[in-house]
Amino acid sequence: MTDVMVPDGKILNCRPGGGLPVTFTSIDVTYPGSPRGSPYPLIPEMENGAAVVSADAKGNRDYLVNGHNALVAKAHDPAKLADLPVEALTNEELRQSLVASGLETAKKWDFRNAVERAKEAIERELQEAEP
């Protein structure tokens, strides 16, 4: 599935490996096209100054904080997920706040610790699944 990104108010479909870092610099708001796959696809967008909108995909809970560095909709709530990019694009103060916090998040994120984070996430899921 392609990612849908909203640069300068226009919808753009991008395929992985299609020169995305250059594209990221022109993006105002981005959100992943699919909750499957890597839980960390939004770090490069944050690093390049895009405001992030996402559905809650559990794996992104490690670094996305709703209203702080991203706007996060509940999983399987397409209406909310459709409204959030509009909110981020039309509220400049909110968008700038998301971008600033996203840049800080990207600076702190260290992929060398990804294995430890994955282990912790699995342990949390197992604890939540216990009766």
- Residue 45's pLDDT is 83
Judge whether 87 and 71 are in contact, CB under 8 Å: yes
Give me the domain span that covers residue 69. 3-129
- Digit-coded pLDDT (tens) for 82-93: 899 889 888 999
Report pTM.
0.63
The residue among 44, 82, 88 whose CA lies nearest residue 66 is 88
The residue among 95, 77, 100 whose CA lies nearest residue 85 is 95
- Digit-coded pLDDT (tens) for 97-110: 999 999 999 888 86
Pick out the chain residues at pLDDT < 50.
1-24
Computed over every residue of the chain, the mean pLDDT equals: 75
CATH number of the domain bearing residue 87: 3.40.50.2000
Q: Look at the chain and report how many structural domains it folds into.
A: 1
Which segments of 14-130 does DSSP mark as H helices, in order? 20-24, 43-47, 78-90, 92-108, 114-129
- Residue 4's pLDDT is 44
